[in-house]
Amino acid sequence: MSILDINSQRQQPLLSARSRSGAYWNEYTETMPRDQLDKLHVKRLQALLRYAYDRVPFYHDLYQGVGMAPEDIRSLDDFNKYVPTIDKKDLVKAQAANPPWGDSIALDPDYFIYHFQTSGSTGTPLRIPFSLHTQIQYGEQWAYLYWGVGIRPHDSFYFAFPWGMYTGFWSAYWGVRCLGGTVISGGGLTSEQRLQQIELLKPTVLVSTPTYALYLAELAKELGIDTSSTAIQYTIHAGEPGPGIPTTRQAIESAWGAKAYELYGVGEVGAIAPGCPEQRGCHFSEDQGYATIVDSSGNPVGHGEVGENVVTSYIQMAQPVIKYRTHDLVRAHYDTCSCGRTWLLYEGGVLGRTDDMITIKGTNVYPAAIEYLLSDVPGLGSHYELHVTSGRLNDEVTVKVEPVSGISANSYLQMEKSLQQVIKAKIGVTIGVNVVNPGELPRYELKAKRFFDHRPKKA
């Protein structure tokens, strides 16, 4: 190739050597039968445990403390039973004892190409180092999503995001590099400037939080811009639940005239679960990690049940994460999905946090279970809030929800009754419903606050 041959340099993807066909970025792993996937997990977990034990004092001491050595783990059962789980606070503590990195890293910091950190919304921020290898692998997890939903190297991506110290959309950016598409950065711009760029430069993919996609569409309407007639064909989301909730997905899709997809990521672990192309939830990328969904005693839950997602990364080699409690509640589906993937499906995406669990008359209810049902009542919109208070014997829940525009206030009472009946029929609990006027609930730019927990804090 001559250096002057400009055409041959156009949009070279980072991972062009990998073979891919049809609907899959990597058909071989995405459709691998369960028994083969499990064999692969055992091999990779053994190698990872050895890597961490030999290189990371944090894991060496942890495993020695429980009398476990890497060679003791010979099956997934062994791994689930004998390897101790860790929590974010363990890594935060290790970093605080010896800043900035503590004894939980496996590489010399000379190898780090990025320093990220978590938002700190659930406590002290955790610092997250990336090596180049780690970053490209994180990016590839996004490429699984892009390719799976039909995005190709000729597409262009508009990042409506301020970037910052968060891993999420930086990894989404590296996903575009893996795919070979074009990046247009909306960093540092106002929402109005972003809309102007979208009209002028005609990107085909919008990358943002789900809340921001809705906010941008509402602002566009005020400015007389019709977002459904822009060139955007796909909207891609992360950072908060959204496209997994039917009312939110429908609102985004109709505002942008596009298909909305999500990726479930955990900053310190990876972009772990690209959304299912058939919008059934997110598939854990099983060639880059291992996940177990457990009940409150730490035992794996069965197919179709809800539990906490505990994950291990095969790609975060700078600061390994092994049996890491995410505190995210997910529903486990192990059957082959209708999209053809054999990878574990988190049906409906992330359903809530373990701390958000509500107990009503002995029934455990997670907030998303209520949110999903909003779309069962015609006329209810995508803006809502859940308020939980402690009653005398039980938690009490009230949902405030806006109707879509154009609904008469005379119908509010009927809509409240209908939603109560749907929730009673499907979850078996009674909650308060309050339909409020359109525009009454606050709007958010980056992430929406929908869950308001007024219960006394647990000690």
Site for Zn ion in 87-106 (CB under 5 A): none
Task: Choose the binding region for Zn ion from 138-146, 172-180, 268-276, 299-307 (rule: CB under 5 A).
Answer: 268-276
What letter represents residue 452's amino acid? F
Task: Report yes or no: 83 and 323 within 8 Å, Cβ to Cβ.
Answer: yes
Q: Which residue of 337, 344, 360, 419 would you call a contact of Zn ion, by CB under 5 A?
A: 337
Task: Please give the Cα distance from 392 to 268 (Å, whole number).
Answer: 39
Task: Please give the Cα distance from 206 to 437 (Å, whole number).
Answer: 29
User: Under the criterion CB under 5 A, does residue 149 sit at the interface with Zn ion?
Assistant: no
| DSSP-derived 3-state class of residue 56 | coil
Pair of tokens at residue 63: 């495993």
Q: Where are the beta strands (DSSP E) in 279-323?
A: 281-283, 289-294, 306-313
Task: Please give the Cα distance from 316 to 271 (Å, whole number).
Answer: 11
* Shortest distance (Å) from residue 291 CB to Zn ion: 15
User: Under the criterion CB under 5 A, does residue 276 sit at the interface with Zn ion?
Assistant: yes
Q: Look-up: residue for tokens 């869950």?
A: 451
Task: Please give the Cα distance from 434 to 343 (Å, whole number).
Answer: 39
Task: Report yes or no: 356 and 350 within 8 Å, Cβ to Cβ.
Answer: no
* Shortest distance (Å) from residue 339 CB to Zn ion: 3
* Shortest distance (Å) from residue 236 CB to Zn ion: 16
In a 10 Å sphere around its CB, with 0-12 CB exposed, 13-18 middle and 19+ buried, how is residue 110 labelled? exposed
* Shortest distance (Å) from residue 277 CB to Zn ion: 6
Size of the site for Zn ion (CB under 5 A): 4
User: Under the criterion CB under 5 A, does residue 339 sit at the interface with Zn ion?
Assistant: yes
Task: Choose the binding region for Zn ion from 219-227, 333-341, 392-400, 445-453 (rule: CB under 5 A).
Answer: 333-341
* Shortest distance (Å) from residue 285 CB to Zn ion: 12
- Residue number, 275 or 403, with CB nearest to Zn ion: 275
- Residue number, 146 or 158, with CB nearest to Zn ion: 146
Site for Zn ion in 4-63 (CB under 5 A): none
* Shortest distance (Å) from residue 286 CB to Zn ion: 13
- Residue number, 148 or 403, with CB nearest to Zn ion: 148
User: Under the criterion CB under 5 A, does residue 350 sit at the interface with Zn ion?
Assistant: no
Task: Please give the Cα distance from 206 to 252 (Å, whole number).
Answer: 11
Which residues of the chain form contacts with Zn ion (CB under 5 A)?
276, 337, 339, 341
